[in-house]
Amino acid sequence: MDINSLYNTWLEKADADPDLKAELESIKGNDDEILDRFYRSLEFGTAGLRGVIGAGTNRMNYYTVGRATQGLSDFLNKHFEKPSIAIGYDSRIKSEYFSREAAKILAANGIKVYLYKELEPTPCLSFAIRYFKTSSGIILTASHNPAKYNGYKCYNSNGYQMTDEEAGETYEFIQKVDYFTGIKTMDFDKAVSDGLIEFMGDEVIDAFLAEVKKQCVNLGICEKADLKVIYTPLNGTGNKPVRKILDTIGVKNVYVVPEQELPDGNFPTCPFPNPEIEQAFECAIKMAENIKADLLLATDPDCDRVGIAVRNTDGKYQLMSGNEVGVMLLNYLLSQKKEQGTLSESSIAVKSFVSTDLAEAVAKKYNCTFKNLLTGFKYIGELITQLEAEGKADNFVMGFEESYGYLAGTHARDKDAVVASMLICEMASYYKVHGKSLIDVMNNLYDEFGYYLNSVSNYAFEGASGMEKMAEIMDTLRTNPPKEIGGYTVTRVDDYKASTSTDVASGNVEKITLPKSNVLAYALTDGNKLIVRPSGTEPKIKAYVTAVGKDRQSAEKIAEKIHHSADELIK
254 and 240 Cβ atoms separated by less than 8 Å: no
Of 468, 469, 477, 562, nearest to 519 (Cα)?
Answer: 477
CA distance readout (Å), 179 to 34, 68, 175, 209: 17, 9, 10, 40
Q: Mind telling me the catalytic residues?
A: 143
Q: What is the CB neighbour count within 10 angstroms for residue 309?
A: 24
Euclidean distance between CA atoms 564 and 316, whole angstroms: 30
CA distance readout (Å), 503 to 237, 261, 425, 509: 46, 52, 44, 6
Euclidean distance between CA atoms 88 and 116, whole angstroms: 6
266 and 105 Cβ atoms separated by less than 8 Å: no
SS3 191: helix
CA distance readout (Å), 266 to 67, 101, 235, 250, 270: 26, 21, 9, 33, 9
CA atoms within 13 A on the CB side of 355: 30
Q: What is the CB neighbour count within 10 angstroms for residue 75?
A: 23
SS3 353: coil
Euclidean distance between CA atoms 254 and 229, whole angstroms: 5
What residue type is assigned to position 259 of the chain? E
309, containing H or E segment: strand 306-311
Of 405, 212, 202, nearest to 303 (Cα)?
Answer: 405
Euclidean distance between CA atoms 39 and 571, whole angstroms: 23
Euclidean distance between CA atoms 237 and 550, whole angstroms: 41
Spatial neighbors of 360 by CB under 8 A, at least 6 apart, are 370, 372
Euclidean distance between CA atoms 230 and 260, whole angstroms: 12
Spatial neighbors of 4 by CB under 8 A, at least 6 apart, are 34
Spatial neighbors of 376 by CB under 8 A, at least 6 apart, are 46, 47, 161, 352, 536
